[in-house]
Structure 1
Amino acid sequence: MSSPAADSAPSAQEPGRQQHPLPAGDPLPPPAPNRVRVSAPAGSMLNIPRKLNPDAADAFYVRSLIRSQFRLAISVALGFLLLLIGLAVIGAAWPQIQEIRLATIPLPWWLLGVGVYPMILLSAFLFNRAAARNEQQYRSIVEQ
């Protein structure tokens, strides 16, 4: 049997955690809401009716779409990496660039701190357009 004093003490499994009793007259806190799983119907992303028995041609076209999206992602990532490497090479090959200052900040810091972000946005925009074009080509083939 345990005493009421032992029940209010911190448990051995939870060191450092103190239990605070609710003040008299305050209602109990509301129970946590139940979790709800939300999912989209199959095929709703591309608005293509889902086939019950996909055949070899369907599998081929899906693999082709995945490969084209992967090539696109790799090419955009490599292009951005080449841009960053190019900035490093310019800084190493032309040390006088450190002496060029805008508002007391060296030009390479401006290029890395401010100039790279428009390139990220441009890369993301072009990637999104190309990925949508790939998916549109896939849809036109599958819907035939």
Structure 2
Amino acid sequence: MTDEPAEPGRTPPRPERVRVTAAGLGVPARPAFDLRSPATGGRATEPAAVYVRSLIRSQLRLGIVAAVGFIVATVAFVLVLALVPDLSAAVVWGVPASWLLLGFGLYPLALTVAVLYVRAAARNEARYRALTVDE
């Protein structure tokens, strides 16, 4: 294409058509954190690799703690329901009390664990980004 002005009465040439496609199935996705630094000519730096391994370990530890905490709380709910038979016999507004406990106890617990996990994971990533910016 040329940047020459169009002559009067003549239509300017159409721009070239560009085809945009998604990456194929065999093409690896771009990593979330790039270890390569422009200052090192595109090579991964050792501190960056240490930071990423540290981030991965902290996210794994956070995930395990959240999962174990949720499992323990769920088992405690089930044990309470199993060990207190009066809860199955009690009826509130036509619904067994044990169902109300599960519905209004377990679901809010799951939501709370999920929200806390997401906030803590975001905090971990923000710390990682702060470390890489200072580098």
Both structures adopt the same fold (TM-score exceeding 0.5): yes
Q: Is the 8 A contact 2:51 2:128 kept in 1?
A: yes
SS in 2 for 1:143: helix
1:60 counterpart = 2:45: no
**1:109 paired residue number:** 99
Moved over 4 A (4+): none
The question of whether the paired residues in 1 share the 8 Å contact of 2:35 and 2:44 is answered with: no
Residue aligned with 2:128, SS:
helix
Q: How far is 1:115 from its partner?
A: 2.7
- What is the deviation of 1:90? 0.7
1:72 to 52, 55, 62: 62
What are the residue-to-residue correspondences of 1:10-29 with 2, within 5 Å? none
What is the CA deviation profile of residues 17-69 of structure 1, one whole-angstrom value per residue up to 9, with x for unaligned ones?
xxxxxxxxxxxxxxxxx99317xx957x67x7952111222111101100100
Aligned to 2:128: 138
Gaps of 5+ in 2: 1-18, 24-28
Match of residue 22 from structure 2? 37
Match of 1:81 among 63, 71, 74: 71
> Which of 88, 93, 117 in structure 2 is aligned with 1:127?
117
Asked whether the equivalents of residues 89 and 96 of structure 2 are also in contact (C-alpha less than 8 Å), the reply is yes
One-letter amino acid matched to 1:109: W
Give the counterpart letter for 1:94 in structure 2.
V
Q: Counterpart amino acid of 1:79?
A: G
Separation in 1, partners of 2:74, 2:122: 26
Distance 2:106 2:79 in 1: 15
The alignment of Structure 1 onto Structure 2 pairs a total of residues equal to 107
Q: Assess if the C-alpha contact under 8 Å between 1:68 and 1:134 holds in 2.
A: yes
- Tell me the distance in 1 between the aligned counterparts of 2:81 and 2:117: 28
Which one-letter code corresponds to 1:57 in the other structure? P
